[in-house]
Structure 1
């Protein structure tokens, strides 16, 4: 009997990405190599590949600042305009890109320390996919930690031992990644609260990037906002739509502050929601 399936709901699909086939285990299971993996809930500064080297990206930031000053973006709240332009200093692009390279160095050092076994071999990683699983860039969204076999030779550390931390948490704790939780890719309540505490300590104590570059450093998502606000041949409304795609929630009181008032919330307490997910998030998170 011939049938036709016609489910009436929007599929969460993305365009295919090329990946190298590593091996197959049976006719319906394959292993691929070169699968990018995005550490969720954290955001590091952008490298020069995003908007160019400082000599290319600083003029873009300067154009953004000029527009924030000259009335082009008067539809944005005054507080937000002041917040962003105060961060766009003469060497803002260089500081941001330098911070990106420092974050990479810190991450590679952490990988070496946490994954290298006594015999010099490398420990496997535990991958915990979450939320939307695959983003629009083909990256798996996941929390990642060292893998312990939980044997006599390789026991699982006790709960609370920092060796059990995810790499996501460690990057936030050391101040080289900003806390960047996006619904629905959130950890469980216990881990979420641990991460909020670590993020707050990194921010208030000025760790990592904030220690080296100061608190006026543009965070990764703020840098991307400013670059989008600098785009030429677009109207103010078009640039604003591109730059501010998510709605912010203040984790301190679960109030929805919207797209433009996130600057009133400390970086450690900003939760982000895609606009199309807001109504469901209100139900799921009791906002």
Structure 2
């Protein structure tokens, strides 16, 4: 299962040794970017280079992923516990499209409150586990159209994310953090660039490492896949290419000048 609207650091490295190897791979990717060998825009490359060139980008991300996982387990156990020693059931609400490309269930997850509790306890005091991760700075927001939270829930999510980021909580304690969706994209970019440099045939498009467009929730301006970084993380609304026409129409999005000009 994957929690909707949030993105926790990856633990796919599985070991400190593999994380250290990713440190080296990301340093190599940084060198390729500086030499103009990687298929990435100059502006996005400049934004990501300080994070790649630390020499510990993979290790940092793996460490953050383990911390997020530990927090999630402890938080779920604590919030499901009742004073009488019994555990609450878990409430799951799935997305309109319930599965992602890896066949994982997409859902909001929370303790199951009684009808009376839902009437008496304000929503902000009975958050989902998804929101708890954001509040603690253990996850970034990752809202993907059309699975957008309702107005009240979205406001809670944005406010919590902004507070965690500006307060330097969790993953936001260091400017070197790669948000999980950046980390995954850079892993793909490394493999694509490695093949290009080695003159190996590509089995995917060289720009396939980034496909989602990004809209700024504050002003409804739509940006290209490599121009998201100018939007503060909590205000990013991600849109797959196949959903772009519908999103532009339904949300009344306006293309950024660079996107409209095809730059």
Task: Determine if the TM-score, normalized by the shorter chain, exceeds 0.5.
Answer: yes
The number of aligned residues is 245
1:116-135 pair list within 5 angstroms: 116-135=81-100
Contact 1:180/1:271 (CA < 8 Å) preserved in 2?
Answer: yes
Residue number in structure 2 paired with 1:182? 144
Alignment counterpart, residue 96 of structure 1, candidates 61, 74, 87: 61
In 2, the alpha carbon distance for the partners of 1:158 and 1:241 equals: 50
- Structure 1's 60 and 236: CA in aligned 2 closer, same or farther, altered over 3 A? farther
- Deviation, 1:249, is 0.8
Partner of 1:32: none
Q: Deviations over 1:210-241 (max 9, x none)?
A: 22xx0221110111111111103247995642
Larger Rg: 1
Counterparts of 1:55 and 1:199, CA distance in 2:
29
SS of equivalent residue, structure 1 residue 242: coil
Q: After TM superposition, give the deviation of residue 163 of structure 1 in Å.
A: 3.7
Whether contact under 8 Å (1:229, 1:239) holds in the other structure is no
* Structure 2 unmatched ranges of 5 or more: 254-263
Aligned residue for 1:259, secondary structure, equals coil
Give the corresponding residue for 2:129. 167
8 A contact 2:24–2:55 mirrored in 1: no
TM-score, structure 2 length as denominator?
0.86
Give the match's secondary structure for 1:105. helix
CA shift for structure 1 position 185: 1.1
SS of 1:53 mapped into structure 2: helix
Of 71, 74, 79, 1:109 maps to: 74
Please tell me the root mean square deviation across aligned C-alpha atoms, in Å.
2.1
Give the structure 1 partner of residue 195 of structure 2. Answer: 233
Q: Which has the higher helix share?
A: 2
- TM-score normalized with structure 1 length: 0.79
Structure 1 gap segments, 5+ residues each: 1-36
